[in-house]
A and B are shown apart, each in its own frame.
Chain A
């Protein structure tokens, strides 16, 4: 792989990590959704670039799924959901922004240390891609922990999944990538529909996960 191809792939994958960090400190849901859409676009570009570099046309399908489904449909749906829920102004954070960011930086450092050490045998691009992907996965997990709002939780999960797609496309020649990305899209669609349905049927006053805890089985 020539220098410029490597640099572009590197830039796009690094961009995903950067956007993940951006998501960590968004304190409004609307902004959070927009940043997530930006990450989906960056992912789509990254996948498309990999498809071009690896000469693997089937990866373009994954790129299109990322762009249309996660970059467009899901954000629009989420914007509508939070308007209906009336939570589009604020976001609840369990931990403050400072500690969260520090933890996020720590996780990125951790994944770089772990991944670069265990993948010495692999090619340069592959190992850095994996390190970035693990960072995005861990940052997604961190986001799922720090957000109490169900929509924030869903976005955290989707950004985690972006990391997985990055890893899958970075692993050169991996089979079933398209199938797996479709399977994940189905999963995400179900989650979003689930959040949406709860509200329509007014099962809960709020989709705040803390409120769900009240119904914890051991009643009475």
Chain B
């Protein structure tokens, strides 16, 4: 690689910021710095849309990863805005000590670094290391409150995540073994671009086996049923900005890894189609999570199950493949990231003003906190897939392409969507309307991130710019 490019910058900014944040006391300054660093990363990521630096053996950006990285840095930035007000409140009520806060901010940037690295890695070994680093940092952040529940959630996440990571590594090794006779020994056998170019000549049996391990390994991180057990706990017990980042970004990054390897298999004519496996796990996740939504008592846990549901839909769409379904999957992923993080921003403030995460203790939000309450209603409507929000568009596309390709699978798909819709509407009714529950303190929320996200989702539902449609279609064609 020659010279300093945007690719290096997108890694260097969070890395340097993490180092500086680890040294700075005082949450106001560090929150501001966190925000600045995230903004800088976002600007660099956007520049990647226009100027594409030449890749090397380790780093590279292509049409697929640039979508992920812009989305990732954007949500990373808005979450840092939300995090600033959220954390200020946590410090005031004494839930976070200054030392832990410093740790929190440093870890936030390390997480951004790890996710950016995973997304621009042109090397399957490097990608694995980056996802492992992201897992480690999120485990530490989930445990940051040091309560019984937080530590238990972190421990569960740690063990399940580690096993997933281990299986993914075994799959990665198998890919290398399959590639070695064709591309030769050494670094070339792990470079993504080389692998895809020559995948046709790999041993298909070995690739199939590798994909099983990769799917199980990275699928654990995506939160697909039956590997989802860590996800609700980790979302519920950690700080809310982390729930937003987990749902909005980290699941996507893991899915990106799965997609990469799916492309590898698609390039090999002898290999088994990876689609059915992804579709089966996706549908299972959707239906399982839809039923689980009904009996939730914890508001963050409920939206964590909703994330499982949506990751199921996305995995299903990508598994079905083809230009339309891939397009729908990409769109749905983007919309879900934006909507779900907006919901977690709202829920974070709601839990703070009400002093509880129990659904039963939160009632009548539209009366006591009209802005938060109605934002929550809008967010839930969006996430449930009601028009005019963007998720309606993407779910409609997924369903219609299913009808065209696999009519019988459309039945469980639509059923799952409707069951989830019912559960969400049921819960939001008791949360937002009715007799208000105690806790009427005005909230000092930063409304900008949630409004911004929801406005984008609404805009996408009403009018989708042709430019972005073209772009997504182009990427979808690449996915094959």
Q: In the complex, are the beta carbons of B298 and A217 less than 8 A apart?
A: yes
Distance of A173 Cα from B148 Cα, bound (Å): 45
Q: In the complex, are the beta carbons of A194 and B166 less than 8 A apart?
A: no
Q: In the complex, are the beta carbons of A176 and B162 less than 8 A apart?
A: no
User: How near does chain B come to A54, taking the closest CB pair, in angstroms?
Assistant: 9
Main DSSP-derived SS at the A contact region? helix
Q: In the complex, are the beta carbons of B166 and A174 less than 8 A apart?
A: no
Provide the residues of chain B in CB contact with A15, threshold 8 Å.
none
Q: In the complex, are the beta carbons of B169 and A180 less than 8 A apart?
A: yes
- Residue with the greatest number of chain B CB neighbours at <10 A, chosen from A118, A198, A204: A118
Specify the chain B residue showing the minimal Cβ separation from A218: B297
Q: In the complex, are the beta carbons of B233 and A217 less than 8 A apart?
A: yes
Q: With A198-B151, A217-B298, A218-B297 as known contacts, state yes or no: A119 contacts B206, CB within 8 Å.
A: yes
Q: In the complex, are the beta carbons of B205 and A118 less than 8 A apart?
A: yes
Interface status of A200 (Cβ within 8 A of chain B): no
Identify which of B123, B170, B180, B206 contacts A173 (C-beta below 8 A): B180
Distance of A201 Cα from B136 Cα, bound (Å): 21
Distance of A110 Cα from B249 Cα, bound (Å): 37
Q: With A121-B203, A130-B177 as known contacts, state yes or no: A191 contacts B190, CB within 8 Å.
A: no
Interface status of B152 (Cβ within 8 A of chain A): yes
Specify the chain B residue showing the minimal Cβ separation from A160: B166
Per the 8 Å Cβ criterion, residues 112-162 of A in contact with B are 114, 117-122, 126, 130, 133-134, 137, 141, 144, 153, 157, 160-161
Identify which of B133, B151, B181, B301 contacts A218 (C-beta below 8 A): B301
Interface status of B465 (Cβ within 8 A of chain A): no
Provide the residues of chain B in CB contact with A114, threshold 8 Å.
209
Per the 8 Å Cβ criterion, residues 217-238 of B in contact with A are 232-233, 236-237
Interface status of B158 (Cβ within 8 A of chain A): yes
Interface status of B378 (Cβ within 8 A of chain A): no
Q: In the complex, are the beta carbons of A217 and B301 less than 8 A apart?
A: yes
User: How near does chain A come to B337, taking the closest CB pair, in angstroms?
Assistant: 24
Provide the residues of chain B in CB contact with A164, threshold 8 Å.
166, 169-170, 173
Interface status of A80 (Cβ within 8 A of chain B): no
Number of A residues, CB within 8 Å of B: 47
Provide the residues of chain B in CB contact with A216, threshold 8 Å.
152, 233
Q: In the complex, are the beta carbons of B181 and A175 less than 8 A apart?
A: no
User: How near does chain B come to A176, taking the closest CB pair, in angstroms?
Assistant: 4
Provide the residues of chain A in CB contact with B132, threshold 8 Å.
183, 187
Q: In the complex, are the beta carbons of A212 and B181 less than 8 A apart?
A: no
Specify the chain A residue showing the minimal Cβ separation from B128: A180
Distance of A163 Cα from B213 Cα, bound (Å): 14
Distance of A216 Cα from B156 Cα, bound (Å): 10
Q: In the complex, are the beta carbons of A176 and B126 less than 8 A apart?
A: yes
Per the 8 Å Cβ criterion, residues 400-441 of B in contact with A are none
Q: With A172-B185, A183-B129, A187-B136 as known contacts, state yes or no: A157 contacts B173, CB within 8 Å.
A: no
Interface status of A190 (Cβ within 8 A of chain B): yes
Chain A 41-72, CB-CB to B under 8 Å as 1, else 0, gives 00000000000000000000000000000000
Q: With A171-B176, A175-B189 as known contacts, state yes or no: A137 contacts B136, CB within 8 Å.
A: no
Per the 8 Å Cβ criterion, residues 161-214 of A in contact with B are 161, 163-164, 167-168, 171-176, 179-180, 183, 186-187, 190-191, 194, 198, 201, 203-204, 212
User: How near does chain A come to B81, taking the closest CB pair, in angstroms?
Assistant: 28
Per the 8 Å Cβ criterion, residues 171-186 of B in contact with A are 173-174, 176-177, 180-181, 185-186
User: How near does chain B come to A165, taking the closest CB pair, in angstroms?
Assistant: 10
Q: In the complex, are the beta carbons of A144 and B152 less than 8 A apart?
A: no
Q: In the complex, are the beta carbons of B181 and A121 less than 8 A apart?
A: yes
Q: A119-B206, A191-B159, A194-B155 are in contact. List 16 more A-B contacts (CB 8 A).
A: A114-B209, A118-B206, A118-B209, A120-B205, A121-B181, A130-B173, A153-B159, A157-B162, A167-B173, A174-B190, A179-B125, A179-B129, A180-B169, A190-B139, A190-B158, A217-B236
Q: What are 5 A-B pairs with beta-carbon distances under 8 A?
A: A171-B173, A171-B177, A191-B159, A194-B154, A203-B146
